[in-house]
Structure 1
């Protein structure tokens, strides 16, 4: 199965919170720091109408969550398990 992609930054508290949810549910993901990857930064801006909103989480089914709360993220992760 294709991995979930999590676009974020090292300093983002919401990114750290989302990573904790992934760890707690034991779900693998691919972390992409938009400050280290220019193409990733452009992708995040494109998806978010010019904004650098993080975390931006892309799922194998094509769904995208932007700055999700724990409940929204947990529900999506349970759905794809």
Structure 2
């Protein structure tokens, strides 16, 4: 069972999301369009959803805000734009 956060490999990101979140859908579509490697963890349906949700709440002041993105250096961003993600990855 993964521990959270799931820190991605260099050049990729981990996105904590839900299937019903429009901001998640937009960010994931943008990442796909850019061919940026990413792992999606659905905080509603992942096998360890409670731990994933607790992580998201922990980095967002107790709120379960998605998308929450984890970068290779272990830092996070809440609801970032594609440009923000690319800048953080220096692409």
Match for residue 68 of structure 2 among 30, 53, 56: 56
TM-score by length of 2: 0.77
* Cα contact 1:41–1:52 (8 A) shared by 2: yes
Q: Is structure 2 residue 44 aligned with structure 1 residue 32? A: no
Separation of aligned partners in 2, 1:55 and 1:49: 14
Query: Structure 2: 5+ residue runs without aligned partners?
Result: 1-7
- Per the alignment, do residues 25 and 65 of structure 1 end up closer, same or farther by CA in structure 2, a change over 3 Å counting? same
Number of the residue aligned with 1:70: 82
Displacement, 1:25? 1.1
Question: Any stretches of 5+ residues in structure 1 without a counterpart?
Answer: none
RMSD: 1.6
Q: Is the 8 A contact 2:41 2:52 kept in 1?
A: yes
CA contact (8 A) 2:31 2:82 kept: no
SS of the equivalent of 1:7 reads strand
The count of aligned residue pairs is: 79
